[in-house]
Structure 1
Amino acid sequence: MLIVCAAVAFGVGVGFKDGVCKATEFFSGYLLEQSLSVDNLFVFVLIFKYFKVPLMYQVRVLSYGIAGAIIFRLTLILLGTVTLQRFEAVNLFLAAILLYSSFKLFSSEEDDTDLSDNFVVKTCQKFIPFTGLWYY
C-alpha cells in the first residue's frame, strides 16, 4: 500500500511540475506495468501447476521466469514500438490475431494435451534440467 501511495504522490508531483498530460502518461504506464505484473504471476502459477514443478525448485524457476520476462518484455516493447511507428497496417494484423485468439480461447473445450512431443518442450529439455514429474 505504501508503494502505491508513493506512486500516486509522484504522479501528482509530476502533474504539478509538468502538467496533466505528463501525469496521465505516468499513471497510464504505472497501471500498465501493474497489470502486466499480475498477468505474469498467473502465467507462472499455471506453468508450475501444469509441469508439476516441485516446491523446492519453484523459487529458482520463478527467478529465471522473472529475468526472462524482463528481457523479453524490453525486447518486445522496443521492437513493437519501432514496428508500429513505421507500419500502421501492423495494428490491423495484431487486432486480427487478438480476435482469432480470443475466439479460439472461448470456443474450445478444455483438454489435457500431451506436450511430450512438442518442439519447444523437447528443445527446452536439452538445455534445462527437469524432474520428469510432469509426464505423469
Structure 2
Amino acid sequence: MNKNNVWSKSFELNVNNTPEQIWQVFVDTANWKQWNPGVKSIKIEGPFVSGTWFSMELPDGEIVRSQLVDVAEEIHFIDETLIGETRVRVEHRIEVVNPGQSKFIYAIHTQGPDAQAFGEGISSDFPHVMAGLAKYLADKMV
C-alpha cells in the first residue's frame, strides 16, 4: 500500500437533536436504509462496538464488508473498509452546538493507490445522506 497517497474530506450539518437522539439512529443499523439511499440492507455481526464487522448491501446488489474500528457512544464511530489496496475510513462524529442542537460530521480518509478516486466516489453522496439523516431525525422526533 502506498502510504503517501492519501485523501481526506469532511462534511458538517447542524441539527436540532441531542447526541443521544442521533446516536440511537446510528446504532439502529436495521433502519439505516430509511435515511441512507446508498444502503439496501445491513447485517451487523455483533453489538455496535469497536471490532464488530458488518456487511452492507448497496442498491446495485454489491456487498461491502466493513469493521467498526473505533466506537465512542454518543461521540463518534469510525468504520473501515479495504477496497483492493485502498483503505477507506469514515468517521461519523457528533458534537454539541447548543442545548438541543448538535452537529454531525462525516469525515472520510482514504489511503492507497486509488485514494482520491475512491474518496471522491464514496463521499459524493455524503451531503445527501446527511440531509436524509436530518429529515429522519426530524420526522422521528415529531
Does the TM-score normalized on the shorter chain lie above 0.5? Answer: no
Structure number with higher strand proportion? 2
Structure number with higher helix proportion? 1
Bigger-Rg structure (1/2): 1
> Structure 2-normalised TM-score?
0.23
> Structure 1-normalised TM-score?
0.23
